[in-house]
Amino acid sequence: MDKKAIVLKSDSRGRVRTPLQQRLALVAEFERSGLPATRFAALVGVRYHTFATWVQRHRKQQAAAALSESRPVRFAEVVLAEDSGAPKPEVLRIVLGGGAALELTAAAQVPLAAQLIKALA
């Protein structure tokens, strides 16, 4: 790790504000080091809880980026069959990839179905 002199600003409560580029560099160095987070934080002079927050935020951003890149949007054809018989309640049937099906009978169910599909993705 490079040793450079950097002026760090602090806020009115005395907390040191570490620039984003330095935080990213420290997290990258930590991931390469193989050291436990507690030991690495002590070596670089950062409180463990602060450092753990940086690592957690970095990993969440990486996971979100990987998810958005690897999952293309897929569409399926929907066919509505016409029936001249008695009126039936409108039902939207969504068949998921694993074979599970979801039936919606009211427009109010759409937001719940969207949350469920997003959680399963």
pLDDT digits (tens), the chain, 121 positions: 556 666 666 677 777 788 889 899 999 999 999 999 999 999 988 889 999 999 999 999 888 887 777 666 677 777 766 666 656 667 888 887 777 788 888 888 888 888 888 887 6
Give the burial string for 64-95 (b: 16+ CB within 10 Å, else e). Answer: eeeeeeeeeeeeeeeeeeeeeeeeeeeeeeee
| pLDDT for 39 | 94
- The whole-number pLDDT of residue 109 equals 86
- Amino acid type, 49: H
DSSP 108: G
34 burial type by CB count under 10 A (0-12 exposed, 13-18 middle, 19+ buried) = exposed
Q: What is the pLDDT of residue 17?
A: 81
**Domain ranges for the chain:** 9-70, 73-121
Mean pLDDT of the chain: 80
Write out the two tokens for 22: 């330095």
Return d(Cα 55, Cα 53) in angstroms, integer. 5
